[in-house]
A = this chain, B = another copy of it.
């Protein structure tokens, strides 16, 4: 496998050179004034990405830890929470909650759409005794490429007049898809470093509302590493209660700078453009996008259904060996049945088109029935979206 590898899994996303150089800086004393300046900068800067003025907690751990942190800081054994079965990652989060003695009511799903606001409203409305302590939703379900409508779910909760905490996993959406922690009154937003933030895995996040902080004072799950209270207190000075992952924080500082330079709105529209072109390619190949709700197509990845009796992993292996491209595998109950094309982080038009070329040639090499013309359709989509933009700009 020669030359540049095309890493098009839905995360970790390729790490930009700028960030790789940033994490390779010599380490400094994590109790120094120099560190405090760094700490303040990344803690403050992260708030802009979550669109919040409330505390953002940064853990030296991968995203799974931040899932756990949301649970152990707010819930107690025996509590009931409401989740939506959007796919593999929603299922994993459910498992974690269960391990901590939390009862999870799961609104069933077919892994082909986001969480259903109406179903959530209905269930909450029924819950007259307010047994449900939290609604927990995965914003962008990385296993299926469906992005739940968080703003609408917020409205659903409000419509039901229910006091449940609202906890949202944005591990694969943050900094790629529009997200508004404060405006949507999310209580805990969970995230990670290795997707839209373009960093290596190893940092994770909880953005925390006052309501969540209040809950953390009375819940009974034991915790230490994940505890918000001490973290937030010590963060005030730019420091951390235990040794932080300094080199990844260097990377975070650089990532925040890159996002500011491009502008978050431009980042979001770029991801929409990439996703739209990717779906055009899938359609041209005569294949099916896993997500069936056009309002919920993910801007960060596209999961593609294989034709019956064709193994997605065999295809992925052939594409990797012949064309040096990594695609995402199907996970959980769609294992072997779908492959996933990541188009997040620093991805741009030509990187995606290179990747789609690899998919198209890989399908051929693997003998998977398909029509050619996917790359051409993606190019046409890019050109059309620009014409559209220009037309709008003129109007």
Contacts and interface: CB of A to CB of B under 8 A. Distances in A.
A2 B353 contact: no
Nearest to A77: B222
Interface in A4-34: 4-7, 9, 11-12, 14-17, 20-21, 23-32
A360 interface: yes
Contact of A346 (B2, B16, B348): B2
Interface in A183-213: 192, 194, 200-202
Nearest to A31: B329
A99 B346 contact: no
Contacts of A16: 3-4
B357 A375 contact: yes
Nearest to A102: B222
Contact of A202 (B221, B245, B270, B372): B245
A177 to B, nearest CB: 16
Interface stretch (A43-51, A61-69, A125-133): A61-69
Contact of A348 (B2, B28, B96, B351): B2
Contacts of A168: none
A255 to B, nearest CB: 13
A332 interface: no
Given A222-B99, A349-B357, A201 B243 contact: yes
Contact of A375 (B5, B200, B325, B379): B379
A206 to B, nearest CB: 13
Contacts of A52: none
Contacts of A353: 353-354, 357-358, 375
Contacts of A64: 224-225, 241-243
A242 B63 contact: yes
A36 interface: no
Contacts of A361: 349, 379, 382-383
A262 to B, nearest CB: 6
Contact of A349 (B20, B244, B323): B323
A350 B346 contact: no
Given A15-B27, A24-B20, A248-B202, A379 B360 contact: yes
Number of copies: 4
Nearest to A100: B222
Interface in A100-149: 100-101
A29 B313 CA distance: 14
Contact of A224 (B77, B99, B376): B99
Nearest to A29: B326
A386 B362 CA distance: 12
Contacts of A248: 200, 202
Contacts of A24: 20-21, 23-24
Contacts of A376: 372-373, 375-376
> Which one of A15, A243, A248, A324 has the highest number of Cβ atoms from chain B below 10 Å of its Cβ?
A243
A243 B62 contact: yes
A338 interface: no
A60 interface: yes
A282 B106 CA distance: 55
> Which one of A12, A241, A329 has the highest number of Cβ atoms from chain B below 10 Å of its Cβ?
A12
A60 B12 CA distance: 14
5 contacts: A4-B14, A4-B16, A350-B355, A350-B357, A361-B383
